[in-house]
Amino acid sequence: MTTPFKPKALPLLIATLALAVSGCSGGGGSPATSITGVTLEGTAAKGIIKNGKVVAEELSSAGIALRTVGSAITKVDGSYEIAVANGYLGGPIQVTISSDTTTEMKCDIPAISGCGPRTDDITDTNSTVDFSEWYKPGDLTMTALVAEAANGDKINANITPYTDLAARRAKLNGTVDKTAVYNANSEVSNLLGGIDILRTKPLDITDPIAAKNGTSTGRAYAAFVAAIASLANASSGKPDLNGALLTLSTSFADGKILGDDDSSEIFSLQDLIDAAEDTFKRTGFDDTAGVIAALQKEATAAGYGFFNPARSTTADMPTLTKVKTFVGDVRTWGTVISAEMKAKGDAFDQQTSLASDAADMSLNLLISPALKAALDAIMFNAKSTNPGSDLSGYGIPGFTGTISKSNGVITITNGVIDGVTVNMTASVPVNGTTASSFTIGITSATFRSAAADADIKKGTVVLNLASPYNINYTELDAGTASIPDISGASIDLDISLTQKQNSTGGALSEQVTFAGALSTTLTNPIKDAAGDYTWITPSTLTLGGKISSAGHSMEATFTANITNASTFTPVGETLSNPSFVLEGSGANQWLDATVGLNFGLQLAGLPKASINITGDRTGLKDGTAMITIAYGTRQIVVNGTVMNGVTTGAMEITNQDGVKMTIIPGADKTGTLTFNGTAYGTIKELSNGLVKITYADGTFETL
């Protein structure tokens, strides 16, 4: 193979050796002795649990507790930390949280009834344990299993219904060794779309600030944790959590779970997804990590059959092998993405860019004028008592065809304007209607022209008003009607566009098709001094679509949550002002957004991957970003921080096994490879540009 990169490496190496002499300048096996310096830390959550008693025990291979190696009480945020006592010999560690009369749990069930009637002695303003309120859960026991620990390890061991599920899975075969534990934890992690159940901190999703400040996967994890309580039997007044844990275990008895079911005796993947979605809706967040969407595909594919998540093939490898495998994955994906993807992506980008330019022109010059003409005709028809059915009589130059109205539904048939043929059905509020919410919608529409085709499958705008409003088209047409006080809105659009010609009118070699949907919820409308609306902030936004051309296709969804939508105020006063400035650095002057972009990626020679890019804004020019490349049972996760618009600090790359690569930027990049906080390799960029990784066993390689 020809060297595609670092062509200077060989001469540099040879010359360096020459210079060296002429340059004149100056794991494995079971430990028999006690493992020391180990720390266990994590968060106990089935709803955040405070004052829960956490006990760590070393297990025999039969799953019998050999000795207690530490204990702790969870704090108000559910966290605990245990310094493992001397005497621990390196076997699996079982971490168990149990409740007593002082233990309290945050209710994270989004239902109106929350976690049921208040039956404990906690002071409340009503008789219900509402969402985000503390309550005493009664009898509750959950466990997590840690496969092994080495000297000095700092191990994340969160305790959740899913770690409990993994622990039960690990114990099923009677042999509880590190292999069984690693595999079970990996399998259950993949049940949750790759969320690392031990190391991902489950957030307090009932706390908007904690949820906002956490990671996208942490929010998703919390939503699925909350799902267990939502699905628990609450017939006794409060959720039977121990029973729900048992049901979850039963539902996943063979390491697979039904995609969907009609039974209340077991949990299906669809049950978990639905309950997690409910939690997201309750909190106002969207799943920017894309976990729900990914699992929904699995559930849909499984139907009433089983979804069988596989464990990571590297889960039970010796630690150093895991580390080296991870480096190999990073090298392979990095090389392919930076080299092959660039060449192909450029061509694809050129094609779609060309089509995009042309599409803009078609939309602006063809489709949009046709849409405007059609809407004008529909509004004219709606407010007129006897408008007639011939479009040529509607005062719209060049518009021909027929229009009809029936029960508030207006239909344009074979309308033609500027070479665009329009067929459209729309509904508008009936004249004289009084309501606090109005829906304006395009039921369906097709636009056909030589340059482009466009379809609107659904187009709905819902306006929510502060008070009931009476529709009077005559007054609206005359400009004498009062302007309703809008409190919020939502928009749903589902469109597709096929571009056939370029902007010069020539036929595209390959047609480009975009099909997508936009859904947003708007809030906090801003008026100017004249009382005109100048701005309304989207609190959630979902944009999804698929662009296809010449066999290439990219399906993507974009999700955004703006947590300060209700308080955000644009810096500029009016949108019509040319100097209008949307954002500033002051309080509530920048959109506090958490965004997520998900798309599939198929690179030549590599397995198909799903890509998730999330960003969390922490200031006008500050934020964090995370890129997840998931393929098969493996994933690569890249984390970075942006300060004042510039990438700063260390970049962290992790994988499904919890191996972490930390790269510190600088003149000569350095870094470490760690697992459970213990270094297994160092990273250093050589003067020839190669990045050298030296492992703890003396071997080394370039990245």
Partner 1 sequence: MRFRLNLIPILLAITSSIQASEYQPYVTIQSIAYSNSIAIKAIADDWQPPFYGGDTALIYGKIESGVHWQEWQLGILERCDYFLEFASQTAEFLYLTKNKLPLAPGKKYEIYINALHNCSQGIKLGRMKQLSSTLRANLAISYLQSDALTDGSLKGSALVAAEKSYDFQFDVDYLYSRDTLFKRRIDTPKGKGYTVDLRLDWQPSKEFSSQLEIIDLTSRVYWNEAPYTIATATSDTKTYNEDGYIHYDPAISGYESYKRFAQTLPRKTSLAAQYRWTDNFEALAEYQDFEIEHFTSIGAGWWPGGGHHLQGLYNITAKAVVLRYMWKQLHLELGGDKTKINQVRYFVFQLSYSHSF
Kindly state whether residue 122 participates in binding partner 1, applying the rule CB under 8 A. Answer: no
Nearer to partner 1, 481 or 691 (CB): 691
* Rounded Cα–Cα distance for residues 373 and 377 (Å): 6
Which pair of structure tokens corresponds to residue 609? 């991957």
- The CA-based diameter of the chain, rounded to the nearest angstrom, is 100
Q: Is 3 in the site for partner 1 (CB under 8 A)?
A: yes
Planar angle of CA 683, 685, 688, nearest 5 degrees? 150
Residue type, 6: K
For partner 1, the closer CB: 433 or 694: 694
Query: Segment near partner 1 (CB under 8 A), from 80-88, 105-113, 329-337, 478-486?
Result: 329-337
Q: Binding to partner 1 by residue 694, rule CB under 8 A?
A: yes
By CB under 8 A, the residues from 366 to 405 that bind partner 1 are none
**Conformation bin of residue 524: beta by default, left when phi > 0, alpha when psi is -120 to 50:** left
Residue 337 or 416: the one with the smaller Cβ distance to partner 1 is: 337
Residue of the chain from 30, 86, 332, 482 that contacts partner 1 (CB under 8 A): 332
Shortest separation between residue 183's beta carbon and partner 1, angstroms: 20
Q: How far is the CB of 635 from partner 1 (least distance, A)?
A: 15
**Is 139 or 668 the residue whose CB approaches partner 1 more closely?**
668
Place of tokens 């096996």: 29
What's the burial of 124, exposed, middle or buried (CB within 10 Å: 0-12/13-18/19+)?
middle
Minimum CB distance to partner 1 smaller for 491 or for 686: 686
**Of 597, 599, 593, 600, residue with least CA distance to 614:** 597
Residue 698 binds to partner 1 (criterion: CB under 8 A): yes
Among 243, 328, 398, 408, binds partner 1 (CB under 8 A): 328
Phi, then psi, of 12 in degrees rounded to 5: -65, -40
Nearest to residue 166, comparing CAs of 75, 42, 252? 252
Least distance (Å) between residue 701 CB and partner 1: 4
Q: Which part of the chain contacts partner 1 (CB under 8 A), choosing from 52-60, 447-455, 485-493, 683-691?
A: 683-691
- Are the C-beta atoms of 608 and 602 separated by less than 8 Å? yes
Q: Which of 6, 297, 372, 527 is the binder for partner 1 (CB under 8 A)?
A: 6
Q: Does 7 participate in binding partner 1 (rule CB under 8 A)?
A: yes
Binding segment (CB under 8 A) for partner 1, from list 47-55, 68-76, 615-623, 682-690: 682-690
- Quick one: which H or E segment has residue 230? helix 216-231
CB 486 within 8 A of CB 464: yes
Residues 11-70 that bind partner 1 (CB under 8 A): 11, 13-26
- Alpha-carbon distance of 348 to 31, in angstroms, equals 55
**Rounded Cα–Cα distance for residues 430 and 603 (Å):** 53
Sort strands 154-156 and 39-43 into parallel, antiparallel or unpaired: parallel
The residue to which tokens 């829960």 are assigned: 52
Residue 607 within binding range of partner 1, rule CB under 8 A? yes
| Interface stretch with partner 1, choices 242-250, 521-529, 640-648, 693-701 (CB under 8 A) | 693-701
Size of the site for partner 1 (CB under 8 A): 44
Half-sphere exposure of 422 (CA within 13 A, CB side): 31
CB 526 within 8 A of CB 535: yes
- Does residue 2 belong to the site contacting partner 1 (CB under 8 A)? yes
Residue nearer to partner 1 on the CB measure, 3 or 467: 3
Task: Specify the DSSP class assigned to residue 45.
Answer: B
> Given the complex with partner 1, which of 20 and 32 has the nearer CB atom?
20
Can residue 672 be called a binding residue for partner 1 (CB under 8 A)?
A: no
Q: Kindly list the distances between the CA atom of residue 603 and the CA atoms of 31, 335, 608, in Å, as whole numbers in the listed order.
A: 43, 11, 7
Residue 392 DSSP class: G
**Of residues 82-101, which lie at the interface with partner 1 (CB under 8 A)?**
none
- Binding of partner 1 by 667 (CB under 8 A): no
Q: Would you state the structure tokens that stand for residue 542, as one six-digit string? A: 């979902």
Binding piece for partner 1, criterion CB under 8 A, among 39-47, 155-163, 550-558, 687-695:
687-695
Q: How far is the CB of 179 from partner 1 (least distance, A)?
A: 21
Of these, 66, 336, 379, 465, which contacts partner 1 (CB under 8 A)?
Answer: 336
Pick 350 or 699: Cβ nearer partner 1: 699
Which residues are 448's β-sheet partners?
421, 453
Q: Least Å distance between CB 420 and partner 1?
A: 47
Q: What is the rounded CA–CA span in Å between residue 569 and residue 589?
A: 6
Q: Which residues contact 599 (CB under 8 A, 6 or more apart)?
A: 554, 555, 556, 557, 610, 611
Selected from 1, 112, 530, 667, the binder of partner 1 by CB under 8 A is 1
Half-sphere exposure of 478 (CA within 13 A, CB side): 7
Nearest to partner 1 of 266, 337 (CB atom): 337
Site string for partner 1, 278-317 (x = CB under 8 A): ----------------------------------------
Cβ neighbours of residue 690 under 8 Å, at least 6 residues apart? 6, 9, 702, 703
Output 10 or 409, the one with its CB closest to partner 1: 10
Q: Is 664 in the site for partner 1 (CB under 8 A)?
A: no
The residue within the footprint of partner 1, chosen from 51, 335, 487, 502 (CB under 8 A), is 335
Cβ proximity to partner 1, 336 vs 375, nearer residue: 336
- Between CA 117 and CA 112 the distance in angstroms is 11
Pick from 179, 369, 692, 696 the residue near partner 1 by CB under 8 A. 692
Rounded to the nearest whole angstrom, what is the least distance from the CB of residue 290 to partner 1 in the complex? Answer: 23
Q: What is residue 327's DSSP assignment?
A: H
- Pairwise CA distance, residues 214 & 279, whole Å: 16
Residue 327 CB, nearest approach to partner 1 (Å): 8
Q: Which stretch binds partner 1 (CB under 8 A): 57-65, 101-109, 128-136, 690-698?
A: 690-698
Residue 435 binds partner 1, judged by CB under 8 A = no
Any idea what the Cα angle at residue 7 is, between residues 661 and 670, rounded to 5°?
Answer: 25
656 within 8 A of 316, measured Cβ to Cβ: no
User: Residue 265 corresponds to which amino acid?
Assistant: E
Taking CB under 8 A as the binding criterion, the range among 303-311, 370-378, 555-563, 602-610 that sits at the site for partner 1 is 602-610
Binding site for partner 1 (CB under 8 A): 1-3, 6-11, 13-26, 328, 331-332, 335-336, 604-607, 684, 686-687, 690, 692, 694, 698-703
